[in-house]
Chains A and B, each alone.
Chain A
Amino acid sequence: MTANRLAESLLALSQQEELVDLPKDYLLSGSEDEGDNDGEREHQKLLEAISSLDGKNRRKLAERSEASLKVSEFNVSSEGSGEKLVLADLLEPVKTSSSLATVKKQLNRVKSKKTVELPLNKEEIERIHREVAFNKTTQVLSKWDPVVLKNRQAEQLVFPLEKEEPAIAPIEHVLSGWKARTPLEQEIFNLLHKNKQPVADPLLTPVEKASLQAMSLEEAKMRRAELQRARALQSYYEAKARREKKIKSKKYHKVVKKGKAKKALKEFEQLRKANPAAALEELEKIEKARMMERMSLKHQNSGKWAKSKAIMAKYDLEARQAMQEQLAKNKELTQKLQVASESEEEEGGTEEVEELLVPDVVNEVQMNADGPNPWMLRSCTSDTKEAATQEDPEQLPEPEAHEVSESEGEERPVAEEEILLREFEERRSLRKRSELSQDAEPAGSQETKDSSSQEVLSELRVLAQKLKENDQSRKQKASSEGTIPQVQREEPAPEEEEPLLLQRPERVQTLEELEELGKEECFQNKELPRPVLEGQQSERTPNNRPDAPKEKKKKEQMIDLQNLLTTQSPSVKSLAVPTIEELEDEEERNQRQMIKEAFAGDDVIRDFLKEKREAVEASKPKDVDLTLPGWGEWGGVGLKPSAKKRRRFLIKAPEGPPRKDKNLPNVMINEKRNIHTAAHQVRVLPYPFTHHWQFERTIQTPIGSTWNTQRAFQKLTTPKVVTKPGHIINPIKAEDVGYRSSSRSDLSVIQRNPKRITTRHKKQLKKSSVD
């Protein structure tokens, strides 16, 4: 394309040249033979000169830069063509050749690469550096944040930070150095020795020592390695099993099975010789397998394989044999074993287990009840109950049953429960009987009991479940009807229900008799104050009632006060009447009259009310009147600003809070601020508080020893920082707070999350790259 264009342009130029050259040729015809070359050069020069006359096109030709239309031997220029010359044009051969492909590729690569950008300003670079450094250091420092926070919130800091751990002498050392001297001590030691209590020999076993010390690093590592190994082994094993499972060959499986059976038999034989007990256990397993077999429908010629074989059996002897084999096996497996002695033993086992199960609980309770601890006592009974309901269902029946019988026995018999109870009673009696009979039974055979005990357990569990359900339903009923408080008292509702109810049963249980005794007294005591208080109340009511309405306050206050002071109060009946005043009724009345007369003049109440009114007026904030008489009006004597004006220029004072004695007619409370007290109060809220209520709450508790116990006082006044005299306080180090100190860890922090560069920073980078 470009080449064509070049050719065209060249043609056009040459024609032009011919036109221009005409006169020249004419002039220089004689010297034409001198050579085409000379002539051409001349011509070129001329052209140049002409073109240079035209100001527009006057341009200095480059010495030699690129290809141009005028291909001279010195110059390469693109002048004249419409567009720029592209590098590729130069390199492109006329005919494409493969040898130039690499060059082309290189060229393309060069082309695709962007120009190298200008380096950033020095300031900008520095800024970025600074920012990165800042981020880095904050990263490094941020690991101290929790430490700093902890230290700030700590109640007390003790410096120097590293503590020398006090050497605690092991107790056995202390004990070994100690000798019993007094007779009492000797006696105690004797007792101890009699009971083989460890006294002098190491009291702490190695285990205890180990547990006392924290797990050491090595140990932890070992453990970890162990665990790892176990895990790896397991995975190998699993893989192997999976692989083997995938094998489809029946023959292979048969072989394996047979091998296993053989091996098992051999092992069993060995075991029987070596450890008969273990062998028995194994036997049990086999027995279990038999039971499983009996339960299942295996080996009964009912499977797919068996059916297919049955079809074949007519013709195939092998098939028939196989079927027969299967049937035989079935028979063998399902044969019922009848060993009388064993079953007996089993029963005995169950009995024993049961005996173990229940009486434990009973013992526990009794033991606790006998114990001297009052609060242990209270809780233990409830405990057993809770434990029974929640955790150990096998413990449940006994205490629960007792309870039920106690609480419900007479009141309303619940049918199911009774049945259950009866069942349980029977069971217990049976157990007792067996207990009597089997006292002499040797306790050696434990192994066989497991399954039987399991059965018993499951039975008991079911029983417990039923009981619980019954309980719950009953409780619901009781709560819905709200009938019998005793039921609830006896049986605490679940904790979520009502804490009050919960508290009550405890008390009842602990001090049952006591309360029963004291109940009547208590009630009396409680009832005693009532009439008194009520009497007071009724007495007070006439005085207090007028406090409520506020509308007719002024008027009513008067009446009210009158009431207050003149109410006829009952006179005291005293045994000893003052001697001077042994007057008869008449005289008394006389005296009263006299008093009345004496007080007739001074109306105490009116004076008081007046005083109060004055005080209230005085304490009210005053309005500000800004009216200027004569302003904007006619001047003169006797001016009276108009009401409108006055209203306009009157600044009403904001109404203050209601007085404390607003509703107390007989009281005047001073509302003035006590500045002397205020001088002692806090007037600036300290930092984290935003409202004075918050701060007030923190200063409510006094810290002086007058109001606190010695311990509390000491704790409240512990210094924030304690330093040891004569010790150098080193700056905190990473090791002190449990960090591993190394510059690598710091670096790793940074590398892990490489440059959490802020968005601003990113933007800046982008900008610079664009530039």
Chain B
Amino acid sequence: METAPKSGRDVPPKKDKLQTKRRKPRRYWEEETVPTRDGASAGPPCNKKNRELRPQRRKNAHILKKSRISKKPQVPKKPREWKNPESQRSLSGAQDPFPGPAPVPVEVVQKFCRIDKSRKLPRSKAKTRSRLEVAEAEEEETSIKAARSELLLAEEPGFLEGEDGEDTAKICQADIVEAVDIASGAKHFDLNLRQFGPYRLNYSRTGRHLAFGGRRGHVAALDWVTKKLMCEINVMEAVRDIRFLHSEALLAVAQNRWLHIYDNQGIELHCIRRCDRVTRLEFLPFHFLLATASETGFLTYLDVSVGKIVAALNARAGRLDVMSQNPYNAVIHLGHSNGTVSLWSPAMKEPLAKILCHRGGVRAVAVDSTGTYMATSGLDHQLKIFDLRGTYQPLSTRTLPHGAGHLAFSQRGLLVAGMGDVVNIWAGQGKASPPSLEQPYLTHRLSGPVHGLQFCPFEDVLGVGHSGGITSMLVPGAGEPNFDGLESNPYRSRKQRQEWEVKALLEKVPAELICLDPRALAKVDVISLEQGKKERIERLGYDPEAKAPFQPKPKQKGRSSTASLVKRKRKVMDEEHRDKVRQSLQQQQQRHKEVKAKSTGAWPSALDRFVR
């Protein structure tokens, strides 16, 4: 038993040796340590294990530190933990089998990092640097925490996978319904409503409620999961479009003449006459804006929280009947008959951007939830997917036999196109990739031509409104499996909804902030900054931040003559000038090099994006 510690490591001298050999001056901790060790040796396996694990653990810490990309905030804590593993040992002698915090994969952390470290900052003072360091450390910490909490996203998206070479598009709804559980199977249903013509439909943000309106005035809202009808009315007027407002309690219906708002009992609350002949509706949930596109060519933004019209923009492109919103930055995309898609914000009178997409008119536009891809279909029977990240170039193009009249993206990036009485669904690889138009993922034939399409949020369900009624399809892998309970909770109670409503109203984003880059708020208004500086200089008569010009020091013994002063000044000036020239030369050379590298290198392969 006592032989165990003799294995030659740097174990402190043992008790018997202590006695025989020359006595060292006693330390206040030493004498009593020995008996405790003896006492601990009552449970030899534990003790031995401890001793053996010690060096190893220290190593472990290194590795952990590498994997946890943490730098600043954790560092002062960590070494203390590892330097004296003794103190960490629990009273019972048992040991934590998972010492230290669990490592977090770097990629996940990277996902939450928002500071662009590629940009090099100008030289900063110590004070500034410390602030920057604090900011970076904070970011690091928060992103690590966020990455940790990914663990809570327990659900995983499913997908249909064909057995070797089997085309998933051949699988029909009946097969899927047969294969899935009863609860999911119940989500596939057909509403046979042949009487009131083609239907438009809309799911509420939580995905729990469904509203639909038929061309001939039939408006209904229901909890589609339980199939509980909330209201059903006939507005005795053509219904062009229907949309839930921020909650399922309010319903906007674009009728033949004006825009009406109903509550979930079917009681008409408002008739908004300033929005007339509305063809399409979009609701921007974070801004509480209802965007309406009208036959008269106006795009009107209505703030539903205060009931004011924020902006009425004339698109100057004739009748508007193609509209969709970009969920990423709340920009409205309008499709026009001249083949362009224009991007609008209530803050600007002109479109933010105009993209020429098709030779013929644009029939449908859809933007995916990450705001990266836009799908358009035109009268030239083409379906295109555009990259919205600054280039606005088509990534893939396909000609459809009949052209798509309706498009919609799902939360996980599936694209659905309604062509006549057929819907085609395409899927991409993973979430942030564009849908590949090679092979449809699913197809389905309906009883009438499609008139409205929407994927249900947080469900693998696609709602299709057509002339024969409503069809709810099962599309595996369409919806986001994990919902944010505080943001849009499908199972929320009435009380919770009310609470959420208050919070959402408090957090309402001003309409002016809608622009192409939603992170514009995290930027400094450089133009005003410069102008302010200029004004200040004008007011003061000098630049307070300018570097003081060099003033030669007076010297003694007759060396401080005017000529020598001037000479010294000139010297410094020349040196500065030379520095500048040197810098500019270096920059030029670098540019040359870059150009050369670009020209010599072949066309970058698509795989280059994976190179790190």
Q: Which residues of A contact B (CB under 8 A)?
A: 153, 171, 192, 195-198, 203-208, 210-211, 215, 219, 222-223, 226-227, 230, 278, 281, 352-353, 356-357, 360, 363-364, 367-368, 371-373, 375-376, 378-380, 382-384, 386-387, 391-392, 394, 443, 446, 453, 457, 499, 506, 528-530, 532-537, 539-541, 543-544, 561, 564-581, 588, 595, 598-599, 602, 604-605, 607-608, 611, 660-661, 664, 666-670, 672-674, 676-685, 688-702, 704-706, 708-709, 711-712, 715-716
Would you call B226 an interface residue if the criterion is a C-beta within 8 Å of the partner chain's C-beta atoms?
no
Contacts of B145 in A (CB 8 A): 708-709, 711-712
Instruction: Provide the bound-state CA to CA distance between A209 and B351, in Å.
Output: 73
Contact B513 A680 (CB under 8 A): yes
Q: Which of A215, A222, A604, A678 has the most chain B CB atoms inside 10 A of its CB?
A: A604
B397 near A569: Cβ-Cβ < 8 Å: yes
B338 touches A694 (CB 8 A): no
Q: Which residues of B contact A391 (CB under 8 A)?
A: 55
Contact A278 B20, CB 8 Å, known A376-B60, A561-B356? yes
Q: A210-B28, A219-B28, A667-B354 are in contact. Are A566 and B49 (CB under 8 A)?
A: no
Q: Give residues of chain B (421-459) contacting chain A, Cβ–Cβ below 8 Å.
A: 421-422, 424, 429, 436-440, 443-445, 449
30 of the cross-chain contacts (CB-CB < 8 Å) are A210-B28, A211-B87, A230-B25, A353-B6, A360-B7, A375-B64, A380-B60, A392-B55, A533-B607, A534-B605, A539-B397, A561-B356, A564-B356, A572-B400, A574-B169, A579-B421, A580-B420, A604-B338, A667-B392, A674-B512, A674-B515, A676-B347, A679-B512, A681-B525, A691-B121, A693-B119, A694-B128, A700-B116, A709-B142, A715-B141
Q: Which of A660, A689, A701 has the most CB of B within 10 A?
A: A701
107-157 of chain B: CB within 8 A of chain A: 114-116, 119, 121-122, 124-125, 127-128, 130-132, 134-136, 138-139, 141-142, 145-146, 148-149
**What B residues does A676 contact at CB under 8 A?**
347, 512-513
Interchain CB contact under 8 A, A694 and B351: no
| In the complex, chain A residues whose CB is within 8 Å of the CB of B8 | 353, 356-357, 394, 453, 457
B392–A664 touching, CB < 8 Å: yes
Question: Closest Cβ of chain B: how far from A670's Cβ, in Å?
Answer: 5
Q: Is the CB of A572 within 8 A of B401?
A: yes
Q: Does B523 contact A (CB under 8 A)?
A: yes
Q: Is the CB of A699 within 8 A of B522?
A: yes
Verify B122–A691 contact, CB threshold 8 A: yes
B79 at the interface (CB under 8 A from A): no
Whether the pair B28, A383 counts as a contact (CB closer than 8 A) is: no
For residue B55, which residues in chain A have a CB less than 8 angstroms away from its CB?
A: 383, 387, 391-392
A674 near B397 with CB under 8 A, answer no
Q: Are A205 and B522 in contact, CB atoms less than 8 angstroms apart?
A: no
Within 8 Å by CB of A680, from B97, B382, B512, lies: B512
Residues A382 and B393 in contact, CB atoms below 8 Å apart: no
Of B99, B340, B439, most A-chain CB atoms within 10 Å: B340
Is there an interface contact between A672 and B522, defined as CB atoms closer than 8 Å? no
By the criterion CB–CB under 8 Å, are A693 and B122 in contact? yes
The smallest C-beta distance from A337 to any residue of chain B, in angstroms, reads 24
The answer to whether A574 touches B443 (Cβ under 8 A) is yes
Does B528 interact with chain A (Cβ within 8 Å)? yes
Please pick, from A392, A605, A698, A700, the residue contacting B131 in the complex, using a CB distance under 8 A: A698
Q: Smallest CB–CB gap between B63 and chain A, Å? A: 5
Judge if B177 is at the interface, Cβ distance under 8 Å.
Answer: no
Give chain B nearest CB distance to A462 CB in angstroms. Answer: 15
Among B29-37, B194-202, B230-238, B493-501, the one that faces the other chain is B29-37
Q: How far is the CA of A568 from the CA of B148 in the complex (A)?
A: 48
Residues of B within 8 A of A443 (CB): 3
User: Interface size (B, Cβ < 8 Å)?
Assistant: 138
Given contacts A376-B60, A690-B128, contact A712 B142 (CB under 8 A): yes
Instruction: Give the one of B28, B397, B524 with max A CB within 10 A.
Output: B524
B421, A580: Cβ atoms closer than 8 Å? yes
Would you call B43 an interface residue if the criterion is a C-beta within 8 Å of the partner chain's C-beta atoms? yes
Within 8 Å CB of B217, what residues of A? none
Q: Chain A contacts of B29 at CB under 8 A? A: 207, 210-211
Query: Given known contacts A383-B60, A698-B132, is B528 in contact with A683 (CB within 8 Å)?
Result: yes
| B573 in the interface (beta carbon within 8 A) | no
Q: Would you give the shortest CB distance from B438 to chain A, in whole angstroms?
A: 7
* B578 part of interface (Cβ distance < 8 Å): no
| Cβ-defined contact, B25 with A692, below 8 A | no
Within 8 A of A (CB), among B41-60: 42-43, 49, 52-53, 55-56, 59-60
Least Cβ distance of A242 to chain B in Å? 20
Which chain A residue shows the least CB distance to B94?
A197
Contact A604-B359, Cβ < 8 Å, known A382-B59, A578-B421, A692-B526: yes
Q: How far apart sit A577 and B420, CA to CA, in the bound complex (Å)?
A: 9
Most chain A beta carbons < 10 A, residue from B52, B394, B444 = B394
A392 to B11, CA, bound (A): 13
Q: Does B9 contact A (CB under 8 A)?
A: yes
The 8 Å CB contact of B114, one of A506, A575, A674, A701, is A701
**With A364-B56, A682-B525: A700-B395 Cβ-Cβ less than 8 Å:** no
A579 vs B33: C-alpha distance in the bound complex, in angstroms? 90
Within 8 A of A (CB), among B383-421: 383, 390-402, 419-421
Q: Name the residue in A565, A581, A685 with the highest tally of chain B Cβ atoms < 10 Å from its Cβ.
A: A565
Across the interface, B142 reaches (CB within 8 A) one of A602, A684, A701, namely A701
Q: Is B115 touching A700 in the complex (CB atoms < 8 A)? A: yes
Does any Cβ of A come within 8 Å of B352's Cβ? yes
- Interface residues, chain B, CB within 8 Å of chain A? 3-4, 6-9, 20, 25-29, 32-33, 36, 39, 42-43, 49, 52-53, 55-56, 59-60, 63-64, 66-67, 87, 91-93, 97-99, 102-103, 114-116, 119, 121-122, 124-125, 127-128, 130-132, 134-136, 138-139, 141-142, 145-146, 148-149, 167, 169-170, 338-340, 345, 347-348, 350-360, 379-383, 390-402, 419-422, 424, 429, 436-440, 443-445, 449, 486-487, 507, 510, 512-513, 515, 520-529, 532, 545, 603, 605-607
Residue of B nearest to A607 (CB): B338
Given contact pairs A540-B393, A709-B145, A712-B146, A446 touches B6 in the complex (Cβ within 8 A): yes
Q: Cβ of A215: which chain B residues have Cβ within 8 Å of it?
A: 28
Contact (Cβ within 8 A) A529 B138: no
Extra inter-chain contacts (16) besides given A356-B8, A529-B429, A535-B438, CB under 8 Å = A208-B36, A210-B29, A379-B59, A530-B606, A571-B399, A572-B401, A576-B424, A576-B445, A599-B379, A608-B356, A674-B515, A677-B520, A690-B122, A690-B128, A698-B132, A712-B146
Asked whether A608 and B338 contact (CB < 8 A) given A375-B103, A569-B382, A667-B353, the answer is: yes
Instruction: Return the contact of A602 from the options B128, B338, B398 (Cβ within 8 A).
Output: B338
Q: Which residues of B contact A702 (CB under 8 A)?
A: 114
Cβ of B53: which chain A residues have Cβ within 8 Å of it? 364
Cα separation A716 to B64 with both chains bound (whole Å) = 25
In the complex the two chains form, what is the Cα distance from A674 to B329 in whole Å?
A: 15
- What is the distance, in angstroms, from A200's C-beta to the closest C-beta of chain B? 12
B352 touches A669 (CB 8 A): yes
Decide: A599 and B60 in contact? CB cutoff 8 A. Answer: no
Partner of A171, one of B91, B116, B486, B512: B91
Say yes or no: B399 contacts A604, CB within 8 Å.
Answer: no
- Contact indicator A541/B603 (Cβ below 8 Å): yes
Question: A537 is contacted by which of B391, B521, B606 (Cβ under 8 Å)?
Answer: B606
Q: Is the CB of A536 within 8 A of B424?
A: no
- The reply to whether A697 and B135 contact each other, CB–CB distance below 8 Å, is yes
Q: Which residues of A contact B91 (CB under 8 A)?
A: 171, 198, 203-204
Q: How far is the CA of A716 from the CA of B134 in the complex (A)?
A: 11
Docked pose: A209 CA to B103 CA in angstroms = 33
Whole-angstrom CA separation of A379 from B82 in the bound complex: 15
Residues of A within 8 A of B399 (CB): 568-572
**A697 with B526, Cβ < 8 A, contacts A207-B36, A532-B438, A680-B521 known:** no
A387 to B356, CA, bound (A): 65
Taking the closest CB of chain A, its distance from the CB of B399, in whole angstroms, is 4
Q: Which of A386, A561, A608, A688 has a CB less than 8 Å from the CB of B125?
A: A688
In the complex, what's the smallest C-beta–C-beta distance from B301 to chain A, in angstroms? 12
